[in-house]
């Protein structure tokens, strides 16, 4: 959980910085778009360690099928959420799509970079030599 917080908090900070810049450039619509883009990335990428870690600890053999099924269901859920968010006449009229995209890209890059650094610093053996 500590690793999760060490990743989520900087990504939220990156999202806030993008929202600040978008607010200066596009006003309220830019801020809403950037915050929504960052929130979608944090929910999409953050749900994986929260849900999969306890499942993988129970059964290592089932981890790959569970992870693939979870990725598929998560992808469908994001597509449905984005379709509902960006319908004509709905939320789409009050957010800036450029700010949404920039915040999503920045948050995803920050998340991926921080996740790689966390895994690199983690001392998990990947194989065991038979001596």
Q: Tell me which H or E stretch contains 121.
A: helix 97-121
- At residue 12 the predicted structure's pLDDT band, cuts being 50, 70 and 90, is very high
Residue pair 34/15 in contact (Cβ under 8 Å)? The answer is yes
Global pTM?
Answer: 0.81
Chain centroid offset of residue 110 CA: 9
As separate numbers, helices (DSSP H) first and strands (DSSP E) second, the chain gives 4, 0
- At residue 109 the predicted structure's pLDDT band, cuts being 50, 70 and 90, is very high
- How far apart (Å, rounded) are the C-alpha atoms in residues 7 and 12? 9
In Å, how far are 24, 37, 53, 102, 110 from 97, measured between CA atoms?
15, 9, 33, 9, 20
């Amino acid at each position: 959980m500590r690793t999760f917080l060490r990743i989520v908090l900087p990504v939220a900070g990156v999202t806030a910085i993008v929202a600040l810049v978008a607010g200066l450039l596009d006003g309220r619509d830019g801020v809403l778009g950037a915050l929504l883009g960052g929130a979608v990335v944090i929910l999409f990428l953050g749900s994986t360690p929260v849900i999969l870690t306890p499942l993988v600890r129970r059964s290592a053999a089932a981890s790959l099928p569970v992870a693939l099924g979870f990725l598929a269901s998560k992808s469908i859920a994001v597509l449905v959420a984005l379709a509902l968010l960006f319908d004509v006449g709905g939320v789409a009229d009050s957010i800036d799509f450029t700010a949404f995209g920039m915040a999503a890209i920045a948050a995803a890059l920050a998340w991926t970079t921080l996740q790689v650094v966390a895994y690199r610093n983690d001392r998990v053996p990947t194989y065991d030599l038979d001596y």
